[in-house]
Amino acid sequence: MSKLWGGRFEGATDALVEALGESVSFDARLAPWDIQGSLAHAAMLGSCGIISEADAATIQSGLKEVLADIEAGKLAWDPALEDVHTNIEVALVAKVGDAGKRLHTGRSRNDQIATDVRLWMREQIDSIVTLLARLQEALLDCAESHQDLILPGYTHLQPAQPVLLAHHLLAYVEMFHRDAERFRELRRRVNVLPLGSAALAGTPYPIDREQVARELGFDGITRNSMDAVADRDHLIEFVSDGALVMMHLSRISEELILWSCPQFGFIEIGDAFTTGSSIMPQKKNPDVAELVRGKTGRVYGDLNALLTLMKGVPMTYNRDLQEDKEPLFDASDTVQLCLEVYARMLPAISFNREAMAEATLAGFMEATDLADYLVTRGVPFREAHGIVGQVVRHCLATENTLPRLPLQEYQRFSPHFGDDIHSFLQAETLVARRNHPGGTAPVQVHQALHNARERLAAYRG
Ligand code: ARG
């Protein structure tokens, strides 16, 4: 095999250098976007008179044939041709001859790869935003169909105050909504055309970058040719936004894992999303949640790889930058797979009302409200806090709970306890008292569900 771009060389490339330098094994997936960019570039070269209109047309029909071959699995990707760009260019020339050799006029693989990745990323962002909307919908469905369920809300993983399950799930809706916002904001920065920057300094040909930008649906063109070929900020942002999605998925995973263990028993995850043990017949393991939690570390690794890759690279393009693709693709694939599996798994979760109610009774979560109760009857808060502490200790000693403790026993600690104490201590009452926007009272949660639905619909429309 003769040396690629070998005009100025006498010797061949060492076989190991080919193995080190080839990227086609992972960048071949960019082919549709590479060809999309080349079609627009060829059209512009033709209409600006840089190549003949006839050559431009020949190139375009040849590129479409190459794309059809790729889609049919008929293109034999050759690692000796390094990357997706050269493989496609060589295939084009094989089809259309000399016209194909004019395609690379006024262009470099440096602005070409920058363009390919922006085109690819734009679509991935749209797909991730859609998946985030689907996940939010699944959470809202789940919240809506369990609107009266109450469970302990935790701080320090200790029972703190009862909350509606719907309120808890809506917390995740907020997180995934912010994640979607971040990706939408990133899309504006991604959607500019680097092509025309050529290797680094621009090109002497009379190109029309605006035409190419319009053709490719970009909102504008990059302003500095050196930045355009050297910049990988948007890859880091993309993976960073993805890492935040994974962090949120990992937190909900952790909760589902806890909730499904018998000590909590709040949920059961459907058979389609759990696995058995090869040795312990009784097991039903929440592997999906565990894998998502595990894959979070993988995406953090991708982010770290990109940040580290870029920190010492001088202007402008350096071959190091080829190492950006595997972490980028890995993060994108992982985030999308995890989002999709989660939207499917959530409807397969059943909630155990009794276990949640039992846990809600058990944690003395009424204690703060009980102190407030005494305060409204004139007892100073510090004193009320002390009285309730004694009541809790008494309950612990007698294996009782605050809602079940008889009134006479309450009155041993303070004469201010009245016969409304038991209805006051119902979890439903405690929850309903947090009645302000952002609180867990059913009317507020109902409104929050409605607002979240409208917000999603507005983004979709
Ligand atoms: N495969 C290369 C990459 O991904 C494309 C750009 C190559 N440019 C170069 N000057 N060798 O970075």
Task: Name the residue ranges covered by the structural domains of the chain.
Answer: 15-105, 110-146+153-203+217-357, 367-460
* 225-243 residue pLDDT tens: 999 999 999 999 999 999 9
Q: How far apart are CA 191 and CA 47, in angstroms?
A: 24
Other C-beta atoms closer than 10 Å to the C-beta of 280 total 8
Q: What is the pLDDT of residues 230-281, one digit of tens each?
A: 999 999 999 999 999 999 999 999 999 999 999 999 999 999 999 888 888 8
Q: pLDDT tens digits for 183-194?
A: 999 999 999 999
* Cα Dmax for the chain: 102
**Which pLDDT does position 199 carry in this prediction?**
98
pLDDT in tens, 158-180: 999 999 999 999 999 999 999 99
Average pLDDT along the chain: 96
Provide the pLDDT for residue 411.
96
pLDDT at position 363 = 84
Q: Which residues are the active-site residues?
A: 156, 277
Q: Which residues pair with 162 in a beta bridge?
A: 152
| List of residues 6+ apart from 441 with CB closer than 8 A | 431, 432, 433, 434, 435
3-state secondary structure of 410: helix
Residues 316 and 175: their CA atoms lie apart, in Å, by 37
Which H/E stretch holds residue 161?
Answer: strand 158-164
Residue 96 in tokens: 């259309």
Ligand 1 centroid – CA 197 distance (Å): 14
Ligand 1 atom with minimal separation from the 199 CA: 10
**15-105 CATH:** 1.10.275.10
Ligand 1 site residues (CB inside 6 A) read 23, 27, 83, 109-110, 113, 317, 319, 321-322
Are the beta carbons of 67 and 31 closer than 8 angstroms? yes
74 touches 84 (CB < 8 A): no
Task: Provide the percentage of residues in the chain whose pLDDT is more than 90.
Answer: 93
CATH superfamily entry for domain 367-460: Fumarase/aspartase (C-terminal domain) (1.10.40.30)
Counting ligand 1 atoms within 8 A of each CB, the residue from 113, 115, 315 with the most, and so the one to mutate, is 113
The separation between the first and the last C-alpha atoms of the chain, rounded to the nearest angstrom, is: 54
Residue 31 alpha carbon to ligand 1 centre in Å = 14
Q: Regarding predicted confidence, which is higher, 24 or 9?
A: 24
Ligand 1 pocket: which of 319, 320, 324, 325 to mutate (most atoms within 8 A of CB): 319
**C-alpha of residue 186 to centroid of ligand 1, in Å:** 24
Asked whether residue 121 carries a pLDDT value surpassing 80, the answer given is yes
- Which region among 45-59, 230-244, 253-267, 360-374 has the lowest average model confidence (pLDDT)? 360-374
What CATH number is given for 110-146+153-203+217-357 in this structure?
A: 1.20.200.10
With H, G, I as helix, E, B as strand and everything else as coil, classify residue 3.
coil
Global pTM reads 0.95
pLDDT of residue 214: 98
343's CB contacts (< 8 A; 6+ apart) are 131, 134, 135, 137, 138
DSSP 10-40: SSPPPHHHHHHH--HHHHGGGHHHHHHHHHH
pLDDT at 198 over 70: yes
pLDDT at 7: 83
Model pLDDT, residue 2: 65
Is pLDDT of 377 > 90? yes
- High-pLDDT (> 70) share of the chain, %: 100
The helix (run of H) or strand (run of E) holding residue 269 is strand 267-269
